[in-house]
A and B are shown apart, each in its own frame.
Chain A
Amino acid sequence: MPNGLFLDIVDPWINWGWLSTHIPYVLAAVQEHITLTLIAVLAGFAISLPLGVLAHRWSSLRFPILTVFGIFYTIPSIALFALLIPYTGLSGTTAEIPLIGYNVLILVRNVLVGLDSVPPDVLDAADGMGYRPFVRLVRIELPLALPAIFAGLRVATVSTIGIVTITAVIGLGGLGQLILRGLIESFHSPLVVATVLSIVLALFADLLLAGAQRFAIPWARQA
């Protein structure tokens, strides 16, 4: 280890002294991380729910919607950030547009899977009971589509938490800021703390959504 020779110190993976004096700094990063993630997932969901319903009702919309967002989804986030910089600069908008677009693809796809999985008999029964189309959608079809929608929300949230770290290259990043600092200063503590916290955040969000799913879909608990 040349570092050890020249500087006569070995940087530990976590310097607890550094961590204990930098707790507010770390918490601020966690907070920015959560905010960036929440905006991306909630806005993505708000866009994809109506889009998914429209594409389910009019199947000619299905292919164009899935293709456009599929192309967007395939493009790496760092390339989209770069393409947006001339227009929206180094800003939250530049970070959120790609993140929201990715979530729209994941969620539209799962809304469609969920709505497609509603058995035709159930729809017949609902029609027979006198449900109008909109009421049938809200009270019968969407609740039955919830398992697929929740599965999409979990994938979207966990991947967003990972990708948010990359927004550090455009000056945001939440925990990604600490990773970038660890890289630039060759200082292990912020790097390890941020990576571990990002994993914990993702697993915690996944668990939280799994809990919400159990609560929202009580009839599926036995299965």
Chain B
Amino acid sequence: MGETGVNILESVGRWLTDPAHWQGPDGIPTRLGEHLHLSIESVSIGILIALPVGIVLGHYGRFGNLAINISNVGRAVPSFGILVIAFQVFGLGDLPIILALTALAIPPMVTNSYVALREVDPDVKDAARGMGYRELPQLLRVELPLAVPLIMAGVRTSAVQVVATATLAALIAGGGLGRYIVDGLARNDYPRLLAGALLVAALALATELLLAGLQRILVPRGIRLLKAPVASRASTFKTA
């Protein structure tokens, strides 16, 4: 650290407060918007695909090994490799980025929602049957509320990882906050590089906090205290 450390901090501060970096197509608001757009679109598509699959498989308890195995193979795919392959296939633009990010978002959500439905106490399901619930109401009104904490943990893991991995979009000529890191590295422009790193870190942490809050709101109050902390049962993963 020492003197160089102070100089670096000063130059990063100057970079971040320079009005020129807050406007135009390479400005922070634009890059942040691109980053959020890519992430939200990928996570939404991922949710639409992964949750129904995980929930249905978990409810019927069939093909569970298949689902878990496919999602294990999915986790073994390196994010950098899949992004570059998507870029070579589809060329410039948002499409390859969103496809690759969606593919990375799906496995944790399938695994966690499958496990969430599997973990519903069989006695509870029997009781629901005995009270006259039919299949669909039982799934929607008994099993799903009990499964929400773990399902949400899966969504949170995926969303935070998608926001993190969207940083790599800049490597395949995409937008987002990763642009500052990749350009900073290419031009040996340390203030830009470090400001980009700080912005990316802040966005990832903000996403994590926001989703933790959402998770608290969405978990039905009656079951908050029922089970061991979700953190110890949810499967986590890191792609970037």
Pick from B4, B72, B171, B178: contact of A183, CB below 8 A.
Answer: B171
* A166 and B240 contact, Cβ closer than 8 Å, known pairs A75-B201, A192-B85: yes
* A78 and B84 contact, Cβ closer than 8 Å, known pairs A162-B239, A169-B171: no
Which B residues from 1 to 49 make CB contacts under 8 A with A? 1, 4-5, 8
Pick from A166, A168, A183: contact of B79, CB below 8 A.
Answer: A166
Pick from A82, A112, A113, A192: contact of B197, CB below 8 A.
Answer: A82
Residues of B within 8 A of A186 (CB): 88
Inter-chain contact B75/A159, CB cutoff 8 Å: yes
Cβ of B220 under 8 Å from chain A: no
Inter-chain contact B232/A113, CB cutoff 8 Å: yes
Residues of A within 8 A of B141 (CB): none
Cβ of A73 under 8 Å from chain B: yes
Instruction: Return the chain A residue nearest B82 by Cβ.
Output: A195
Which B residues from 163 to 190 make CB contacts under 8 A with A? 164-165, 167-168, 171-172, 178, 181-182, 184-185, 190
Inter-chain contact A82/B193, CB cutoff 8 Å: yes
Cβ of A36 under 8 Å from chain B: no
Inter-chain contact B73/A79, CB cutoff 8 Å: no
Inter-chain contact B78/A76, CB cutoff 8 Å: no
Q: How far is the CA of A190 from the CA of B193 in the complex (A)?
A: 28
Inter-chain contact A82/B76, CB cutoff 8 Å: no
Instruction: Return the chain A residue nearest B195 by Cβ.
Output: A82
Q: How far is the CA of A87 from the CA of B1 in the complex (A)?
A: 7
Inter-chain contact A82/B4, CB cutoff 8 Å: no
Residues of A within 8 A of B81 (CB): 165, 175, 179, 191, 194-195, 198
Cβ of A86 under 8 Å from chain B: yes
Inter-chain contact B78/A161, CB cutoff 8 Å: yes
Distance in Å: Cβ of A111 to nearest Cβ of chain B: 11
Inter-chain contact B80/A116, CB cutoff 8 Å: no
Inter-chain contact A158/B76, CB cutoff 8 Å: yes
Which A residues from 86 to 143 make CB contacts under 8 A with B? 86-87, 102, 106, 109, 112-113, 116
Q: Binding site of B, secondary structure by majority: helix, strand, loop or mixed?
A: helix
Which B residues from 188 to 207 make CB contacts under 8 A with A? 190, 193-194, 196-198, 200-201, 204-205
Q: Which 10 pairs show the lowest CB-CB distances between chains A and B?
A: A195-B81, A202-B76, A76-B164, A82-B197, A79-B197, A79-B200, A75-B201, A165-B78, A162-B78, A165-B80
Binding site for B on A (CB under 8 A): 71, 73-80, 82-83, 85-87, 102, 106, 109, 112-113, 116, 155, 158-159, 161-163, 165-166, 168-170, 175-176, 179, 182-183, 186, 188, 191-192, 194-195, 198-199, 202-203, 206
Binding site for A on B (CB under 8 A): 1, 4-5, 8, 72-73, 75-82, 84-85, 87-88, 160, 164-165, 167-168, 171-172, 178, 181-182, 184-185, 190, 193-194, 196-198, 200-201, 204-205, 208, 231-232, 235-240
Q: Can you list 30 A-B contacts with CB-CB less than 8 angstroms, sorted by A residue number?
A: A75-B200, A75-B205, A76-B200, A76-B240, A77-B240, A79-B181, A79-B197, A82-B181, A82-B185, A82-B196, A112-B232, A158-B76, A159-B239, A162-B76, A162-B80, A163-B238, A163-B239, A165-B81, A166-B168, A166-B240, A175-B78, A176-B78, A179-B80, A179-B84, A188-B88, A195-B78, A198-B76, A199-B77, A199-B78, A206-B76
